[in-house]
């Protein structure tokens, strides 16, 4: 009986790598790929929803207000009265812009 148990254990040893690899792929997908895809989707939605008059912060740290949204994927932002910069929509930091607008949203309530 003990011999049969040991033989079964050796036979199952060949299956553990076959189970281990898909399990590792699943864990990798759950903790790395899925959150990154979700963040990219949120960033895309954030950029599409930008409109005139919104306060933004670029990834370079430039603060400004959107003056014009162009069709070619660029924005004209006003960094000081009468001073405008043309930037790409992808250069806007979602995190920093949300942090900038968070206190303003709290004051309106």
Q: How many domains does the chain have?
A: 2
Cα dihedral across residues 68, 69, 70, 75: positive or negative: positive
Residue carrying the six token digits 């400004």? 64
Identify the residue with better confidence: 62 or 5: 62
Same domain, 57 and 72: yes
User: What's the rounded mean pLDDT across residues 38-56?
Assistant: 92
Within this chain, do residues 58 and 92 fall inside the same structural domain, yes or no? Answer: yes
Q: Looking at the structure, do residues 37 and 64 belong to the same domain, yes or no?
A: no
Residue 55 φ/ψ, nearest 5 degrees: -85, 135
**Would residue 21 be called left, alpha or beta, if left means φ above 0 and alpha means ψ between -120 and 50 degrees?**
alpha
The helix (H) or strand (E) run that includes residue 10 is helix 2-13
Percentage above 90 pLDDT, the chain: 46
Helix axes 94-108, 34-48, angle to 10 degrees: 60
Positive or negative, the CA dihedral 43, 47, 48, 52 is: positive
pLDDT digits (tens, 9 = 90+) for 64-85: 999 999 989 899 999 999 999 9
pLDDT of residue 73: 86
Question: 7 or 97: whose pLDDT is higher?
Answer: 97
Domain of 101, CATH number, reads 2.30.30.140
């Amino acid at each position: 009986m003990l011999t049969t148990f040991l033989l079964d254990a050796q036979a199952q040893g060949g299956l553990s790598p076959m189970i281990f690899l898909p399990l590792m792929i699943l864990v990798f997908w759950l903790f790395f790929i899925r959150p990154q895809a979700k963040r990219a989707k949120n960033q895309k939605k954030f950029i599409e929803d930008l409109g005139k008059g919104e306060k933004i912060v670029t990834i370079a740290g430039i603060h400004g207000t959107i003056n014009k949204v162009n069709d070619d994927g660029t924005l004209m932002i006003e960094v000081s009265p009468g001073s405008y910069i043309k930037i790409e929509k992808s250069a806007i930091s979602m995190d920093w812009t949300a942090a900038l607008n968070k206190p303003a949203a709290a004051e309106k309530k």
